Amino acid sequence: MTVLYKANMVRGAEWARFFAERAPDVPFRLWPDIGDAADVRYLVAWVPPDDIATTFPNLELVFSVGAGVDQFDATKVPAHIPLVRMLEPGIAETMVEYVTMVVLALHRDLLHFIDQQKQQLWREIRITPAKRRGVGVMGLGQLGQAVLERLKAFGFPLLGWNRSPRDIAGVTCYAGPDTLPDFLAQSDILVCLLPLTDETRGILNADLFARLPRGASLVNVGRGPHLVEADFLAALDSGALSGAVLDVADPEPLPEGHPFWSHPRILLTPHNASMTTPDTAVDFVLDVIDRHRRGEELPGRVDRSRGY
């Protein structure tokens, strides 16, 4: 009953140490040292190997090391094998830190001050009170709800939009495509935390930007393909958007010379907003394995019809 890890090898060494401490009876291997492929019951991966079904004939569970699974080709994972996305608390904690940081930076015009410093320009920008700056979060899963909970402390009017209805104290929630225009009209800072699906691919486009308050800001911590690059650059150049923080891109990394690298109103980070913490991730994986053995419902199990 082997657990096979195929992702970042530096963090993989930490996974191996925590497995040895907490489940010494469970064989744990790091890719490409798979041992006897017939013994592999559980695969933990960022991108799984090809030919899963034939390579690992006794596979029972596949875990994504991230909160999303869009990097998987789900057609290569047999339908009878549950696909589980990571729900360990370290992902939420680091995402909350990042989004809080960049929302406050955009709220207090930090991108503009950085640009002014480069120009050796000393010019004040009038402060907008938080109570007059609406923050809208698209995607109200575990991460979106955690972000909104932390942002409550700053006094922003908070809004949330989701495919299905949510009820969150202190947050004005919207659900479904018909409500999207009303949500956007109040979102001075828009945070995208949506999963990447056929329905959400390209959702950050010219039509969406036109529905935001003029001069709004964007935070994309979802996936690069959510964003239509040409529409985004046009919105920045026209003043429809005043600035953006992007933690994701398409492709990753961006090629040399891409306009995002040098745009004065874009801050780029290298898909680093959140990160799986090996310590708590191992606990999550072991808990899911125990639940699977007992025939219980699996937290984080992906609904393949929805893609998340």
Provide the 10 A C-beta neighbour count for residue 218: 25
Options 17, 271, 291, 304, the catalytic residue: 271
Give 126's DSSP letter.
P
Report yes or no: 160 and 171 within 8 Å, Cβ to Cβ: yes
Report yes or no: 111 and 246 within 8 Å, Cβ to Cβ: no
Q: Cα separations (Å) of 189 from 26, 122, 148, 238, 254?
A: 46, 25, 13, 17, 24
Options 85, 133, 163, 223, the catalytic residue: 223
Whether 223 sits among the annotated catalytic residues: the reply is yes
Q: Quickly list DSSP for 133-187.
A: --EEEE--SHHHHHHHHHHGGGT--EEEEESS----TT-EEEESGGGHHHHHHT-
Whether 271 sits among the annotated catalytic residues: the reply is yes
Query: What are all long-range contacts of 180-184, with beta carbons under 8 Å and residues at least 24 apart?
Result: 180/208, 180/211, 181/211, 183/136, 183/159, 184/136, 184/208, 184/211, 184/212
Phi, psi of 172 (to 5 degrees): -85, 115
- Residues 6+ away with beta carbon under 8 Å from 146: 92, 93, 95, 96
Q: Which of 101, 197, 208, 196 is nearest to 147 (CA)?
A: 101
Measured between alpha carbons, how far is 30 from 40 in angstroms, rounded to an integer?
12
Task: Kindly list the catalytic residues.
Answer: 223, 271
